[in-house]
Amino acid sequence: MGSGLRDRALWKVALGATGSRPGRGRSPCSGDRKKEAAALPGGPAGSANRANRPPERHSSPRAGAGAEAGHSKRALPGADRPKQRISDGRRAPGRGSCAAAPRGAAGEGAGRSASGRRSALGAPAGGGGGGARLGAVGPEEAGLPQGAGRGLSGRVAARRRSDGGPGREGAAPWGGEAGSGAEGLGVAGAVSGRSEPACGPQEGTAGAGAGLAGPWSLGCGPGEAEAGPTSRLGALRRPTFASPRFPRQGWEEPAGTAPGRETMPYLGSEDVVKELKKALCNPHVQADRLRYRNVIQRVIRHMTQGLDMSGVFMEMVKASATVDIVQKKLVYLYMCTYAPLKPDLALLAINTLCKDCSDPNPMVRGLALRSMCSLRMPGVQEYIQQPILNGLRDKASYVRRVAVLGCAKMHNLHGDSEVDGALVNELYSLLRDQDPIVVVNCLRSLEEILKQEGGVVINKPIAHHLLNRMPKLDQWGQAEVLNFLLRYQPRSEEELFDILNLLDSFLKSSSPGVVMGATKLFLILAKKFPHVQTDVLVQVKGPLLAACSSESRELCFAALCHVRQILHSLPGHFSSHYKKFFCSYSEPHYIKLQKVEVLCELVNDENVQQVLEELRGYCTDVSADFAQAAIFAIGGIARTYTDQCVQILTELLGLRQEHITTVVVQTFRDLVWLCPQCTEAVCQALPGCEENIQDSEGKQALIWLLGVHGERIPNAPYVLEDFVENVKSETFPAVKMELLTALLRLFLCRPAECQDMLGRLLHYCIEEEKDMAVRDRGLFYYRLLLAGIDEVKRILCSPKSDPSLGLLEDQAERPVNSWASDFNTLVPVYGKARWAAISKYQGAEHRGPELPNTASFASSGPLIPEEHKETVQEPDSGALMLVPNCQLTAEYFEKTWFSLKVAHQQVFPWKGAVHPDTLQMALQVVNIQTIAMSRAGAHPWKAYLSAQDDTGCLFLTELLLEPENSEMQISVKQNEPRTETLNGFISVLETVLGTIGDIKS
């Protein structure tokens, strides 16, 4: 045990020392071991050795151990090999015996004495199993942090202990699998060639990873006598006689048990882990490349199914020392998954990984580097830094790609704390790399590393470089670069249009992702040129429509969401293509719903007839949701084409279908409020529909209509009476509330018919109702009635309709610039509010979906919940949107100021002095720019402000503070006389001034 601990320390030292040249410390062991044991895997060669090289065998363990001690010169398969081996042995003679002895049993038995071998020959397979167990247990007991390659050297020595069959049995497979690099194998081949020429080449092939038993066992005829009895060899040889070309068939049976076991993962992962562990340690399995790989594949398979396979970590680490790339890949995959769970053990794997990072094969280098960067465990940073830096300068682009992304991973591991300036510079310089994917990866990586500083900076040279590389990138790269280019602000108009011309062809790309990316870039770059924006939207109409009828439903859906967004600004844009948005029967729900919404928005005089007819067809759809959506859509269209729609809706009532009637009535309610001219028609349609309404929403709508327009509906009191009769069994409190209000309203215009039931209802609500809100409402109305009928009228009878609310809902014709920054993001799909909520949760994780810096007062949060918007009347906030970055020069301001008349003047109470800085900042927040301002404490104090809204209307403001009369005089000038926006602006200004004033006092 003691020596085991010491050994771990040594290992760490060795690791530290060789950190920069990964794997050097270890390679000699394998090399030496190979030399020693020559062709362990091939019993025949080994036996040959045994015959002619007894003295060497003695020195071999020491040689292996000596190598461990850090004497690390890679043993080259050259002429000096024997000499070096001997010298190694000499240098650390003691270590070989003491340090190595306690290690696992799976030593290389081949180099062992002839007698040992012979006794082993007779050992049955069971003995082999014993050996395997020993081999597995050994390292763990000793607490040895053995990398696989390391384990090998241990095993070299361990054969001292494991006399007898089992030990050797266990050893043999290691010989076979052990080659931890091409060189190692070369050595094996060469040595065996030397010791037994006849056998050498075959040995080489066997080691080379093909796992082809055929040539090997055919070739090893001479050695067969010795090799035969070991069961492993037997197993290998059998098939080669049976069918040399398909060795796998011969040993179907041992592998054949695997599927049977695989079917039982439900027994719980423990059994599976135990069993796999056994299999992984089994020397027979290990010896056999394919079986070994099969077991590893099973581990991975279980892992992917979510079973906890971390129990076999140690065994998997061992398996990583192989020349077989597939096996390496599998093991790395495993390690990346479980490294965070077993950080201690995962450290063992790093050595192998480091070594692979300098493998001659770029595939292996890339693979190792990627795996190492993905280990996701604390403390790994120090080991990966150097390999990453090397990788950045690798000559294979494959490795550079991995290394560049590795930088980002490493940064994440560091916990986002400090940014390594040198690394960032290196990445910036790699933007000029030849390989397009390296370039894109650099951008991605920088973006993550510099997250806190706002991401990668795109200056003019970078932007131009990227623009020139665009055609060479793949579609993903193009889409992402287009996204990055959004940050670049061209210096001149000329440059801007050059860029647009350069990117023109991407609007016709075959990838919708690229088309959308390009569209967004166009919209943003051309934000000052509305005609260009419109042009672009016309150009992408084709691709967008194509995406809308794409084979992929999901693409369709996303494209439709964007179509809707475009329609907000350009209502007529898709009108001529309205038929594209007709639903077909087989489409999934979400597409149908989007299409109906689109149809509702693109309707115009020419197509209204066809669209309504189509929608009418959807209203009887089997799916209730879809039918209801269609009805709501008709309700939407009814705001413009009232008569036709009301007629259709009335017809729908005739179907007497519950789900249809309820929605129609709700639509009517909204419609009457917005388009009072249809009241008459609605009132005529209503009688009779109470029979088909069961749900809360529908009942509320109906009761509301009966209450507000009851004087025009003859049977209104009787319908309400039914509701009053059944109020005890009514389950929805909201319906009761609505009933109270409606009945009271109706009482005001038809008192005779209502008095009695109103009394009953109030009595019920006050005496029997359990719901507090309903009871309070009842009490409230009761007391109100006590105050006299005139008072009730004054309070309860508000206007019965208000078309201006329609404007508030539609937000008609939002300018393109208001949504351009959201284009091609998830916002059109699920709305800004939704996304903001999600991003908020993420805290530091969140990269910030370009926050909208337009001060949008119209949409400043849902103060009024959706369901109440009908009843609460909000002052029309007009859609005032002030544009950020409206920079006016002082001269221009002065000129305009003098050329305009004062549009509005008012005084604002103000006490004390002004803090110009605070005020300026506060104004900046709402996108009002300060042109000039007196310094603090000046008398009189003056400030000139400017702002511009999205329609281009300028607001110029003068603030004048005369301390003696303690009020601020505000004069506003406007270059286009528009009162709504002016009022909006003044209220914004007042809010700001009020807030600042409050803070001060």
Partner 1 sequence: MIHSLFLINSSGDIFLEKHWKSVVSRSVCDYFFEAQERATEAENVPPVIPTPHHYLLSVYRHKIFFVAVIQTEVPPLFVIEFLHRVVDTFQDYFGVCSEPVIKDNVVVVYEVLEEMLDNGFPLATESNILKELIKPPTILRTVVNRSTNVGDQLPTGQLSVVPWRRTGVKYTNNEAYFDVIEEIDAIIDKSGSTITAEIQGVIDACVKLTGMPDLTLSFMNPRLLDDVSFHPCVRFKRWESERILSFIPPDGNFRLLSYHVSAQNLVAIPVYVKHNISFRDSSSLGRFEITVGPKQTMGKTIEGVIVTSQMPKGVLNMSLTPSQGTHTFDPVTKMLSWDVGKINPQKLPSLKGTMSLQAGASKPDENPTINLHFKIQQLAISGLKVNRLDMYGEKYKPFKGIKYMTKAGKFQVRT
Residues 576-635 that bind partner 1 (CB under 8 A): 577, 579-580, 582, 584-590, 614, 617, 620-622
Contact pick of 3, 483, 642, 877 for partner 1 (by CB under 8 A): 483
Furthest-apart CA pair in the chain: how many Å? 126
Q: Which two tokens stand for residue 787?
A: 């105050």
| Using rule CB under 8 A, residue 435 touches partner 1 | yes
Which of 116, 4, 109, 23 minimizes the C-alpha distance to 61? 109
Q: Does 847 bind partner 1 (CB under 8 A)?
A: yes
Stretch near partner 1 under the rule CB under 8 A, chosen from 357-365, 521-529, 942-950, 976-984: 357-365
Q: Which is nearer to partner 1, 305 or 887 (CB)?
A: 305
Question: Does 830 interact with partner 1 (rule: CB under 8 A)?
Answer: yes
CB 444, min distance to partner 1, A: 5
Look at residues 350, 384, 289 and name the one whose alpha carbon lies nearest to residue 146. 350
The Cα–Cα gap between 35 and 841 comes to 60
Residue 768 in contact with partner 1, rule: CB under 8 A: no
- Helix/strand/coil (H, E, C) string of 33-67? HHHHHCCCCCHHHHHHHHHHCHHHHHHHHHHHHHH
Nearer to partner 1 by C-beta: 767 or 845? Answer: 845
Closest CA to 612 of 586, 588, 589, 578: 578
Shortest Å distance, C-beta 304 to partner 1: 5
Closer CB to partner 1, 31 or 436, in the complex = 436
Here the tokens at position 444 are 């991605």
Instruction: Compare residues 86 and 255 and give the one whose CB is closer to partner 1.
Output: 255
Nearer to partner 1, 613 or 722 (CB): 613
Site for partner 1 in 292-351 (CB under 8 A): 293-294, 297, 300-301, 304-306, 324-326, 329-330, 333, 337, 340
CB–CB of 3/123 below 8 Å? no
Residue closer to partner 1 by CB (options 434, 1001) is 434
Q: Would you tell me how many other CB atoms lie within 10 Å of the CB of residue 215?
A: 15
- Residues in 957-976 that interact with partner 1 by CB under 8 A: none
Pick one of 431, 479, 615, 701: the residue that binds partner 1 (CB under 8 A): 479
The interface region with partner 1, picked from 68-76, 361-369, 808-816, 929-937 by CB under 8 A, is 361-369
Q: Does 378 engage in binding with partner 1 (CB under 8 A)?
A: no
- Say which residues have a Cβ less than 8 Å from residue 185's Cβ, sequence separation at least 6: 34, 179, 204, 207, 208, 323
Under 8 Å between Cβ of 897 and 956: yes
Q: Name 974's bridge partners.
A: 955
Which residue is it, tokens 């492993």? 232
Amino acid, single-letter form, for residue 196: E
Q: Is 839 in the site for partner 1 (CB under 8 A)?
A: yes
How buried is residue 419: exposed, middle or buried, by Cβ count under 10 Å (0-12/13-18/19+)?
middle
Taking the least distance from each CB to partner 1, the nearer of 190 and 479 is 479
Residue 901 beta carbon to partner 1: minimum distance, rounded to whole angstroms = 45
Write down the least CB distance from residue 579 to partner 1, Å: 4
Does 253 interact with partner 1 (rule: CB under 8 A)?
A: no
Binding to partner 1 by CB under 8 A, coded x per residue (else -) over 778-817, reads ----------------------------------------
Distance CA 202, CA 889 (A): 85
The side-by-side arrangement of strands in the sheet containing 929-933 is 902-909, 967-974, 954-962, 941-948, 929-933
Q: Are 672 and 678 in contact (CB under 8 A)?
A: yes
Rounded to whole angstroms, the Cα distance separating 206 from 676 reads 91
SS3 category, 428: helix
Residues 17-56 that bind partner 1 (CB under 8 A): none
Q: Which of 419, 467, 826, 858 binds partner 1 (CB under 8 A)?
A: 826
CB of residue 499 vs partner 1: minimum separation in angstroms? 17
**C-beta of 340: minimal distance to partner 1 in Å?**
8
Is 466 among the residues that bind partner 1 (CB under 8 A)? Answer: no
Q: What is the DSSP string of 754-778?
A: HHHHHHHHHHIIIII---HHHHHHH
Give the nearer residue to partner 1 in terms of CB position, either 475 or 604: 475
- Residue 146 Cα distances to 18, 37, 233, 509, angstroms: 16, 20, 27, 54
CB of 336 to partner 1, least distance (A): 9
Smallest distance, partner 1 to C-beta of residue 356, A: 14
C-beta of 11 vs 626, nearer to partner 1: 626
CB-nearer residue toward partner 1: 663 or 758: 663
Contact criterion met (CB below 8 Å) for 583 and 592: yes
Instruction: Give me the 509-548 binding string for partner 1, x by CB under 8 A, dash otherwise.
Output: xxxxx-xxx------------------------xx-xxx-
Q: Is 205 in the site for partner 1 (CB under 8 A)?
A: no
Does residue 363 touch partner 1 according to CB under 8 A? Answer: yes
* Distance of alpha carbon 774 from alpha carbon 770, whole angstroms: 8
* 901 alpha-carbon distance from chain centroid: 54
Contact positions with partner 1 (CB under 8 A) in 497-516 = 505, 508-513, 515-516
Count, residues near partner 1 per rule CB under 8 A: 111
Classify residue 935 by its DSSP letter.
P
CB nearer to partner 1: pick between 655 and 779: 655
Site for partner 1 in 867-926 (CB under 8 A): none
Find the binding residues for partner 1 in span 392-411 (CB under 8 A).
396-398, 401-402, 405, 408-409
> DSSP string covering 822-865, please?
TTTSSHHHH-HHHHHHHHHHHGGG--------SEESTTSS-SS-
Among 74, 248, 464, 750, binds partner 1 (CB under 8 A): 248
* Of 403 and 881, CB closest to partner 1: 403
d(CA 699, CA 473): 59
Shorter beta-carbon distance to partner 1: residue 26 or 409: 409
Residues 926-955 close enough to bind partner 1 by CB under 8 A: none
Helix (H, G, I), strand (E, B) or coil at 177: helix
DSSP H helical segments within 585-657, as ranges?
589-602, 608-618, 624-637, 642-653
Of the residues 106, 559, 663, 959, which one makes contact with partner 1 according to CB under 8 A: 559
User: Residue 829, interface with partner 1 (CB under 8 A)?
Assistant: yes
Residue type, 274: K
Give the range of 129-137, 179-187, 290-298, 629-637 binding partner 1 by CB under 8 A: 290-298
Tokens coding 962: 């005369």
Say whether residue 845 binds partner 1 (CB under 8 A).
yes
Q: For partner 1, which is the closer residue by CB, 210 or 773?
A: 210
Residue 28 · residue 207 · CB < 8 Å: no
Query: What does the block give as tokens for 36?
Result: 């020693």
The residue range among 422-430, 436-444, 530-538, 704-712 that interacts with partner 1, by the rule CB under 8 A, is 436-444
In the numeric block, the tokens 């926006």 are attached to 981
Residue 358 lies near partner 1 (rule: CB under 8 A): no
CB of residue 230 vs partner 1: minimum separation in angstroms? 24
Q: Which stretch binds partner 1 (CB under 8 A): 69-77, 88-96, 473-481, 663-671?
A: 473-481
Closest by Cα among 926, 931, 944 to 996:
926
Token pair in block for residue 579: 């038929």
Q: By CB under 8 A, which span of 6-14, 38-46, 111-119, 430-438 interacts with partner 1?
A: 430-438
Can residue 553 be called a binding residue for partner 1 (CB under 8 A)?
Answer: yes
Does 276 contact partner 1 by CB under 8 A? Answer: no
Residue type, 259: P
Q: Are 740 and 706 in contact, with CB atoms under 8 Å apart?
A: no
Is 414 a binding residue for partner 1 by CB under 8 A? The answer is no
Length of the chain: 1001
